[in-house]
Structure 1
C-alpha cells in the first residue's frame, strides 16, 4: 500500500466534521464544519515527493522530534503520523527558517531527507471524531477519548465530543492520586499541582487551551462547581491565581498540569490500536513512539 493510500484511508475513517465550540461566537455554537482532505494543520509536513512510495511502517507520535525521526528509521518505517507541528510554529511554515539559515531546521530536514520519511499531521480530523461504541452518537474525539482509554477513565467520562472534557471521579480521589496516576500511566517525569495536594476531586475538567485570558474557563469552573482542572498549559497570571485564591478560601479547587504534549500524546498512543482497522491493512507495522516528557523536575529536598 502506498503512503498516500494509507493517509486517504485514515481520513475516510475519521468523522471529518467539527463543531464550533461553546467558547467564541454563540451564534455559531453547534454548527458543523466539513473538513477538507487537507487543512491549515492537517497536511503533509514533509516528504511530499515520497507519497507514492510503498509504506514500510507507520509511527504514531504527538510531536515528530529528532529522536522520534531517528527511531522511526530504526523501526524501518517511512511514515510518521503526528498530532502537532514539526517546525515550531502554527501552520508549520518554513520560509522564515530557510531565510535565516536556521541550523536546527537544516539538520532536522537532512535527517528526513536521508531516511525518506513522510510526516503527516493529523489534528483537526482526529479531534473531529473516531468511531466509539460508548458515545451516544457513535463518535468520540480521537485524542481525548484515547487519553481516557489509556488512563482507564472512560467510565468517568461525561462527554465524548472533546474539550471541555468532563470527568466524575469516585469518592476518595484527590489531586495527588490523579497526579500519581498520570505520571505512572503516561511515563512522565513529574507533574505540577496548584492548590492543596490532597484536594478532594469529584468533578474534573480538561478545558480549552489556557493561553492567558481565562475568563470563560473561570466562569465555567464556578458555574459547574469543578474541583480540579487538568490543564495542558499553566499560565501564572490568570487561572492559576484564581485556583490558588479559591483553595486558600477553602473552596476545594486544584490544578493538575502535565503539559500540552504529555496530555494529548495518550491519544496518539491509542491510535496505534485502531489504525490497522482504519487503513484496512494489518500487514503494515504500526508503532507508537513517545515524544517524551519535555520537562525535568528538581524538587527541594
Structure 2
C-alpha cells in the first residue's frame, strides 16, 4: 500500500461531472495529481492538470503511477480499470457506482492475478488526513491521528470520523470499501493493511446489515489481527422478517457456525462479541470505547 503525499496519482474520467468537481479539491488537499484521462478530450487541462485521451499516452511522459481514481461512468469503469492495470497501476479507487456485477467479477479476477488493490465501487475512496485525498471524502471531518477507520458505508464513514475528531481522536487513514454488492477489496484485506500500518494504534470498523462481511471480519479479527478493534453496526432497526444476503453466504455462515440469522444486525453484533470486540450501540459511543482501549494500552506499556 502506497498512500503518501509523494504518491503519483492520475484521475480517469477527470472531465466527468464529479471528476471536474473533486479533482481540484484533491489537488488542493495535497494529493499529487499528475494527469487526467478523458477519452476524446485529450489536450485540455483542469486546474493546471494535463488531460489525455488514454493512459497509454500519459505513461511515457509521466513514468510509473501509484494510484488511479476513477470517476468514469459505470459502463466505462471496467475498461478504465483494466487499462490502468495494463499500464502497471496497482491501486485503483473506484468512485463510480452502478458498475454491472459481471464487470466487477471480471475486474476482481484480473486484480487478484496482478496483485492490484481495488477500493470500491460506489465508494468515497481513501483519505490520509492532513496528507492526501483520493476520492470525495469531506476533508473538514477528519484530522490526523492514530485511529484506522474502515467502513462499508460512505456517509457513515464521515459521521464516525467527525465524532472521533470532535473527541480529539484523529485518524491515520479512512477508507470506505464501497456499497455495491460486489466489492473490490474486503474487510479482511483492510484489517490486515491497518494491522501492519505503523501509524495506526486502534482500528474502528463500521458495518451495516446485509451479507456476511461483518461476520467474516469478526472471525478474521479473532484469528489474525493483533491491534485492538472497535465495531459499530448500522441498521439495528431494520425489520427482521427479511433475509439479507445470498444463498451461498447463508450456507457458508451455517457451516462456519456464524448463526442462522446472517445479515441481521443481531447476527453481526453477536459475531463481534464472540470475537471479544467491543461494539458501540451508536456512533457517539465510539470515542469512549477507543479511549478506553488506548488507556489500557498505555497502562500495559508502563
Please tell me the TM-score bracket, short chain as reference. under 0.3
| TM-score (structure 1 length as normaliser) | 0.27
| TM-score (structure 2 length as normaliser) | 0.27
RCO greater where, 1 or 2, for CA within 8 Å and sep 6 or more? 1
Structure with the larger strand share = 2
